[in-house]
Structures are given as structure tokens and as C-alpha cells.
Amino acid sequence: MMSKIKSFDELKSVQERLKAGRDPKKPCITICVGTGCLAYGTRKLVDNFREELAKRDLTGKIDFRTSGCHGFCERGPMVVISPEKIFYQRVGLDDAGEIIDKTVLTGEIIDRLLYVDPQTGEKYVHEDDVPFYKKQTRLVFGQNSKVDPESMDDYLAIGGYGALGKALTGMKPEEIIQEVIKANLRGRGGGGFPAGWKWDETRKAKGEPKYIICNADEGDPGAYMDRSLLEGNPHLVLEGMIIGAYAIGSSQGYIYVRNEYPLAVKNINIAIRQAREAGLLGKNIMGSGFSFDLKINRGGGAFVCGESSALFASLEGRAGEPRAKYIHATDKGLYDKPTNLNNVETWANIPFIINRGADWFAGIGTEGSKGTKIFSLVGKINNTGLVEVPMGTTIRTIVFEIGGGIPGGKKFKAIQTGGPSGGCIPEAHLDLPVDFDELTKIGSMMGSGGMIVMDENNCMVDVAKYFTNFLVSESCGKCVPCREGIRRMRDILADIADGKGREGDVELLQSMAQGIQDGALCALGNSAPNPVMSTIRYFRDEYEAHIKEKRCPAGVCRALITYSVDPEKCTGCTLCAKVCPTKAATGVKKEAHTIDPAKCTKCGACRESCKFDAIIVR
Amino acid sequence: MINLTIDNKKIEAEAGQTILEVARENGVVIPTLCSHESIEPSGSCRLCVVEIKHGKRTRVVTSCLYPVAEGLIVDTKSERVMNVRRLVLQLLLARCPESEQLKEMASEMGVLAEPRFTPDKDNVKCILCRMCVRTCEKVVGVSAIGFSYRGTDKKVCTPFEEESVTCIGCGACAYICPTGHIEMETTQSGDSRTIWGRTFKMATCTVCGRYFAPEDQLKYISKTADVPMENLAVCVSCR
């Protein structure tokens, strides 16, 4: 247990001592134990490494660190060997001994564990050279691989809490706020509201106490950047919050985190306990006279609680329903007191701004959007994972250079940004520089940074139906346009996908979308029509094909497609007949097979199994 | 005093008033389904939307909640406003096809049912305006009913849909319900009434002998207002 740090000088000496105790040339095996990698069974690999090190009497002689998510989730389990930063991916759970014997002890590279670029075939030895990492600017997320989330020493050794020390001893609260305003840090949770202005309004608002809250109720399907930050580097988020509390004049903060994120809850709890023990949280922080403490609240599984006023209601113990925000939360938020709510990634940016200054931060990004943004890149993409790039990076760079393009040589069709209530962006906008304003201009939004890539096999009516359906089940039900309107939109979309679409449906959807955007109570409802609006805007021909020709061009909507076998391509390998669950696919060995449409349930198993691309879907 | 414009009419208002209050005081009709003078606004029906212009920004807001501001320009019948109102009514008509009150309101506003919305068949007349829940909580003060479930499954009921122990059978919820969804049944003799699945014994007036209020309600009033029970034994007409 660490004794309380009573001054900035004392913090500096603790940092120095920890840093000096670490030899940068000493071999260190770092293994990612983010949730994605854990799902590959990495826990077993960790145990193996510990066992194998102990067997060789190397425990302590070689550093071994478990760290948070590195972002390249597609390629887990991942091991990085320092100081050379040799990068091994898709490591087998029993490979620990071999890695120690060969690479760590003798410097030999294990060829089969190296990353091979699926597009160029090129092989990479060092982490920094891998295109997925090379094209990124891993400012906020980069520390994840340098710290064990359970070790405050790790965080202090890389200069952690230095920004807090600087803020508490050398800066007035107003100066900090001015610095954040000058940096033009915009909220990473979705709205993109300038964080500094929000801080300023909360500081100036009348009423005590003032609250600050970290919104960790990340709920967009496929998005997990906030999760990975909280899991992987909780002290960074804490440091940002304590600085914010000092600037705003708050003595009590909350972290509202999804209960579905058990590792994040565990790690943030450990971090809070450590920070309290070290005198960095609680009474008289770092001997400055400033006191601030934090509580964790676990959400009850409602997407709408990411919306500020619903989040407050939930924190207060009421049902998570939003209320009209004609009075700002900065004046009357939690318990009707001035409240400043920022999301995880926003808070995580603060220590960097304080450490390196607003001018440095504002030097990254575009005119209206500064700094970097972490995106979760998922869907039909080779390199599924978390990527951090400067604002203004084009979609093309993110998808094709970092993301490695679309698997199976398929054609890019669209990218959905901004979560379920964001929009689908077509190929024509691949060179769009991604920032808050550009995304809004073309009918989508930044949201919290979800990016779902779609290829030619995705039907855009089906996509709109999927997201609308998600929002139907997540509507809180308070206001009529959202509760009743979105489900009616979903019903019409389902009709269109079932071949029961009618002339005028597209126009009706557009008019409903306008009514819901204007009429709904909160941001969930206001933005709920976005998936429908953007798919109609960019893929209207697909809607027309479904409605007028009763045809699904992408071959997805089951009511509108039939499966058959191309006799030219079929080799009679019998695989389709073996996988078909209804025995609709039949045939004689080495002769072209056939599919009985009366028995076919259009499950797609034959198409997935066919090695000769002989299954036709029309 | 605050100066604003509603439908091109210059109007003076008190600070803290809502657009809806000011509009009504000045004879501007704005339709509502979830607003009542005795309870705080909740902004859930969205019929009272108006389009406002303040500075450069134009947006659609709920007039029942939006506070008046100096220089505010309000349009209560703009195209965007009418589109929201039409949609809200069409959605409610499809949800509660049996509600006479809704049909009447729609016909007054010239709104026709949208044929593309298949009417719900569950015979529910509740539009979730929340007036009953708010009345029970804020006016009566017992919170016997509330909401269960979320989104399209949301409904007003007693906790766990069991007989409420806090309900006093006052019937204020049924009285305020704008669509006739909440039903209160009274026996022919008037000796008991049933609401939310619980039957309440009625007290008789010591003067005229008629049944006039649930015994539980009188006990509740006696307790909360600190009035002896014997002072509550006479009905309003005989008092």
C-alpha cells in the first residue's frame, strides 16, 4: 500500500523512483487481456506464461505484464516483446514456452506468429511497422499497452497524475477551463459540444454542490472504445475527472457505467481505491486543500440512459426516462444541481491537454474538430478493432489502410457511423474527412465513434430495419413520436423486406422521419429516423427494387430471393447437400446439384459452404 | 415583463411562464392531451409542439415546457408543427382505435387515420399521457400506480399488477384520464367500488345516508390533514 502523496514534488519523486526502478532494456512480455482477447481464451495463455517463466526460474528476471486492449482485436491473442517490440498475433494458448525459449532468451523470431498483411502478403516483425498501427495516432489509447490496469505504479511510472499535479499547484480553475476551451475539445460521447464551455457554464452556475459525471453507458451495437479505456487505463480517466472537478468546483463525482462491463467496473474500482490510498482522491488531494471523491453507479441495461437527463433520473433512483432539456444540465442536472457530464473518452483527453497545452492539442485535427478520435471498426472489415486517428482522417484511410479493406475481395458498399441512430455513408463519400461537422453535413453523425462496414452482400433495407428494430426495443416509451412512430416505421420496413411494400411507402417514411425528428422528446427519438433517412438518401434504388420489382438486389431479404445451383460451376462435391438442414440441396456425386425451392428455407448454409461460388441467390 | 410574438401577435408575459400558458391566456388555441392545470407538465404527448425562433435558430419545442423569453417568435401552426401533430394523432388513433375522444379530436383537427398503420387489436385506450400517474403522485400523494416495462410494452399499473395497498380508491386517475381507459366500477347500491383490481367499501353520510366516499380515502384524509374521522362523516351536499 502506498502512503499518501502530500505534494506535487512528492509525486514527482515517486514517479522518478518508479521510473528509475524500470530498466528500459530489460525484456518485457506484454500480453493483451482486453475483453476481446480474453474471449479467445487468453487467460490460459497468461497462466502458461507465468508457469513457464517460473519453471525456467525467470520470474522477476523477465518482466511480464498483462495490459488492457491494444485495439487489434481481430488478431488476438497478442503478445509484444520489448524492448524490440516484436509483435506476435493469434498466439496459440500453449505457445508460451516456445516464445520464452526462442524469442525472449535467444532473439529468434517465430515466423508463424508474425502478422501477414492479407492484401500485400508482406510480413511484419515489429509492432510499430504493422500498417494497422502505423497509420494511427494512438494518443489516448496508446497508453493501454504500457500499463497493467490494476497497477497504479505502472501509470505513475509513465508520468501518470503529473497533469493533476500541474493543475492543482500551478493553475487556477479558470485557467484550466480556458485551456480546455482553447484546445476546443468537443464531447466524444455524441453531441460534440465543446467541453470547455460546458465546464465554464457549470462553474458559473448557481447552486451547491456541483456534480461531475463520467458517462460510461456505452450502448451502441459494436462500439467498445469507452469500455476498453476504462478496462485498460482507468487511472487516465480518473485523472481527467479530478482535474475537471477542480476546474469546475465539484466535490462529488459519479461514474455511470454499464453493468454489462464487469471488467471495467472491477478495474475502475481498483483504481479508485488505489488513488484514495495515495491521496489523489478524497480529502485534501496532494496536499492542495482541494477535496473530491467518486462513486460508481452501475446502469440497469437501458440504452436511453446514455442520454443525459435519463442518466440523471437513473442515478437518482428513478426510471431511466429523459426530460425536456430547455434548462441545461449545467444549471439543473443531477438532483437539480449544476452538473457537468462528459463521456469516458472526453475525460481521458484532459490530462494530455493539461500536460502538453491547448496549442499542441489544437494542432491536431481539423478546423472545427481537434485532437484524435477512437473508432471501433467492425462489420465487413479485415482488421476488426479499435483505431485512433486524428480528426479529419478520411474514411478511405480508416477502412482500407488501417482496416485492411473488405474480406473476401468483396466490394465496399457503405459505412454506418454514429451508432444505431447514425447514418449509412456510401462509397461516393469515401474521401470524406471524418469530423463532427463533415459527418453531420452528409446526414450521419460522429456519435461515440462506432463504425460498421458493409459490403455488397448487405441489403440496406435490411440494415435500416435492423437499427430501427434496435431503437424500438430501446425507446423508453415516454413520448408518442418515439414510442409509436419508430415501431410503425419498423413495421413498414419489415413489409418492404417481405415484399409487401407499397407505392408511397418511401415518401411516408420520409414524412414520418421528419415528424419524429421534430417531435420526439430526447436525442434518442430525434435521431432514431437517421438510419432510414440516410439509407433512403443514398440507396433509394434498393428500396424501389424491393417495393416495385419485389427484388432484393443484395440477396438478403428471404421473402424476395431464391437459391439455385449454377450447373457450370458446380463440381458435385456434395458439400451443400451435407450442410443443408432441410435436405433441399440434393444431387449425385460429381454431378451438378439442385435446390428444391419448396424445401429451401434460405438459411444460406449452402452458399457459405460452397467452395466453387456455385450457389446463385436471386 | 417579457415581450414575445405568438402567431404574429405581440404579447407580454411574466417571466417563468410557459409558451402554452401565455398562448392560452391570449386566446391562441394549442391542442394538448397530457396537460392539466393541476399537475406539472410532462411533455409526453407532443401535440402542443410549436416552432420557435430565438436569434438565428429555429426549432420545434413543446410549448407546455418551454419558458417564454424576450424576443421569442412563436409559430403555433407552421408546416413542421402541423406535421408533428398529424403524425402524433395518427399514431395514437392506430394505438387506440376504440377511443371516441381521440376520434373526435382528430376530426376537429381534420386529421384522417393513416391507412398504412394497422390499428392495434388489444383494445387498450391508454395513450400513456401519464396524467393518472402524476395525479396519483402529486395531487393525491399516494403513488399507487406507476409505469411498468419500457417502450412499446410500457403500461400503467399497480406495482407487479397486484392489488395496491396504498390505493385509497379515490378515483382521481379515472376522473383525469382523457381517453376513458381507466375504469372504475360501482355496485348498483353504491356500497362498494372497484378500481385497479381492488374493491373499496364506501362510507355512508351520517346525515343523508348516501354512500359518498371510500372508507380508505376518508382515513387517508384524516391522517394526512390531521382531521378527526367524525369530522369527515358528512357528504359534501349535507355539509
- What confidence tens digit (pLDDT) does each residue in A302-337 have? 899 989 999 999 999 999 999 887 889 999 999 999
The per-residue pLDDT for B54 is: 87
Q: Cα dist. A120→A116, A161, A405, B100 in Å? A: 8, 42, 11, 69
Question: Mean pLDDT across the stretch A368-375?
Answer: 96
* A501-518: b (≥16 Cβ within 10 Å) or e: beeebbebbeebbbbbbb
pTM comes to 0.92
Say yes or no: B136 and B200 in one domain.
Answer: yes
pLDDT tens digits for range A585-616:
999 999 999 999 999 999 989 988 999 989 99
What local confidence, expressed as pLDDT, does residue B236 receive?
A: 86
Give every residue of chain B whose pLDDT is below 70, as ranges.
none
For A470, which residue in chain B has the nearest alpha carbon? B151
Residues B230 and B180 in one domain: yes
**Do residues A452 and A482 touch, judged by C-beta distance below 8 A?**
no
- Shared-domain flag, residues B56 and B68: yes
CA torsion, ordered A519, A520, A521, A524, to nearest 10 deg: -150
CB A294 within 8 A of CB A281: yes
Q: What is the pLDDT of residues A184-212, one digit of tens each?
A: 999 998 889 999 999 999 999 999 999 99
Q: What is the pLDDT of residues A526-551, one digit of tens each?
A: 999 999 999 999 999 999 999 999 99
On whether the CB atoms of residues A404 and A118 are closer than 8 A, the answer is: yes
Q: Is pLDDT at A583 greater than 90 in this prediction?
A: yes
Domain boundary among B129, B147, B164: B129
Task: Give the separation between CA A310 and CA A328, rounded to whole angstroms.
Answer: 13
pLDDT at B117: 96
Total domains in chain B come to: 2
Question: What is chain A's mean pLDDT, rounded?
Answer: 94
A1 pLDDT band (50/70/90 cuts)?
A: low
User: Is residue B28 located within the same domain as residue B69?
Assistant: yes
My answer on whether B45 and B156 are in the same domain is no
Distance from C-alpha of A60 to C-alpha of A42, rounded to nearest angstrom:
21
- Count the helices and strands in chain B (H runs, E runs): 6, 11
Do B122 and B52 belong to one domain? yes
Residue A300 has pLDDT above 90, yes or no: no
Q: What is the mean pLDDT of residues A555-565?
A: 92
Q: How far is CA A83 from CA A57, A87, A103, A158, A485, in A?
A: 21, 11, 12, 15, 58
3-state secondary structure A178-225: HHHHHHCCECCCCCCCEHHHHHHHHHHCCCCCCEEEEEECCCCCCCCH
For residue A408, the model assigns a pLDDT of: 85
Tally Cβ neighbours within 10 Å of residue A117: 15
Q: What cell numbers appear for A360 in the block?
A: 499542441
What's the confidence (pLDDT) of residue A3?
Answer: 85
- Distance from the B210 Cα atom to the nearest Cα atom in chain A, whole angstroms: 41
Q: Say whether B149 and A476 touch across the interface (CB within 8 A).
A: no
Query: In this structure, what CATH number is given to the domain that contains residue B62?
Result: 3.10.20.740
B82 and B16, same structural domain?
yes
Hey, CA dihedral for A392, A394, A395, A401, is it positive or negative? negative
Beta-carbon contacts of A472 under 8 Å, excluding residues fewer than 6 positions away, are A486, A487, A490, B151, B152
Q: Model confidence over A256-265: pLDDT tens digits?
A: 999 999 999 9
Tracing cell 455524441 back to the chain, one arrives at A190
Contact A453, A378 (CB under 8 A): yes
Q: What is the mean pLDDT of residues A489-493?
A: 97
| Residue where a domain stops, chosen among B68, B99, B129 | B129
Please name the residue of chain B whose CA is at the shortest distance from the CA of residue A492. Answer: B116
β-bridge mates for residue B54, sequence order: B57
Final residue before a domain boundary, out of B81, B106, B129: B129
Q: Please report the residues numbered 129 through 188 in chain B whose beta carbons come closer than 8 angstroms to any beta carbon of chain A.
A: 130, 147, 149-154
Q: Answer yes or no: do A479 and B127 touch at CB < 8 A.
A: no
Q: Compare CB distances from B84 to A326, A473, A515 and report the shortest one's residue.
A: A515
* Residue A406 to residue A409: CA distance in whole angstroms: 6
Q: Does B49 touch chain A (CB under 8 A)?
A: yes
Does B82 share its domain with B135?
Answer: no
Question: Which of B33, B62, B78, B116 to mutate: most A Cβ within 10 Å?
Answer: B116
Residue B136 and residue B82 share a domain: no
Q: At what angle do helices B100-108 and B79-95 cross, to 10 degrees?
A: 160
Distance CA A154, CA A161 (A): 11
B196 and B231 co-located in one domain: yes
Q: Which of A1, A38, A45, A44 is nearest to A263 (CA)?
A: A38
pLDDT tens, residue by residue, B133-145 = 999 999 999 999 9
Question: Out of A298-302, A516-520, A571-575, which region has the weakest mean confidence (pLDDT)?
Answer: A298-302
Domains of chain A: 23-133 (3.40.30.10), 160-362 (3.40.50.11540), 372-455 (3.10.20.600), 460-548 (1.20.1440.230), 562-617 (3.30.70.20)
Instruction: Enter the DSSP assignment of A421.
Output: G
At which residue does the C-alpha cell 452538473 appear? A339
Residue-wise pLDDT tens digits, A239-257: 999 999 999 999 999 999 9
Q: Are strands A339-343 and A615-617 parallel, antiparallel or unpaired?
A: unpaired
Do B106 and B188 have their domain in common? no
* 3-state DSSP assignment of residue B106: helix
Q: Which residues span the domain enclosing B165?
A: 131-238
DSSP class of A273: H
Specify the pLDDT at position B6: 96
Cβ neighbours of residue B101 under 8 Å, at least 6 residues apart? Answer: B178, B179, B180
Peptide bond into A209 cis (omega under 30): yes
What angle, 0 to 180 degrees and rounded to 10, lies between the N-to-C axes of helices A234-248 and A195-204? 40
Q: How many residues does chain B have?
A: 239
Cell of A125: 516483425
Q: What average pLDDT score do residues A111-137 get?
A: 93
Question: What digits encode the pLDDT tens for the residues A378-421?
Answer: 999 999 999 999 999 999 999 999 999 999 889 999 999 998 88
Cell numbers standing for residue A551? 427484388
On whether both B1 and B59 belong to a single domain, the answer is yes
Are B94 and A481 inside 8 Å of each other by CB? no
Contact between A368 and A392 under an 8 Å Cβ cutoff? The reply is no
Compute φ and ψ for B195, nearest 5 degrees: -150, 145
Specify the pLDDT at position A552.
95
Grid-cell match 473508432, residue found: A375
- Residue in A235, A310, A296, A294 with CA at minimum distance from that of residue A261: A296
Question: Are A487 and B152 within 8 A, CB to CB?
Answer: yes
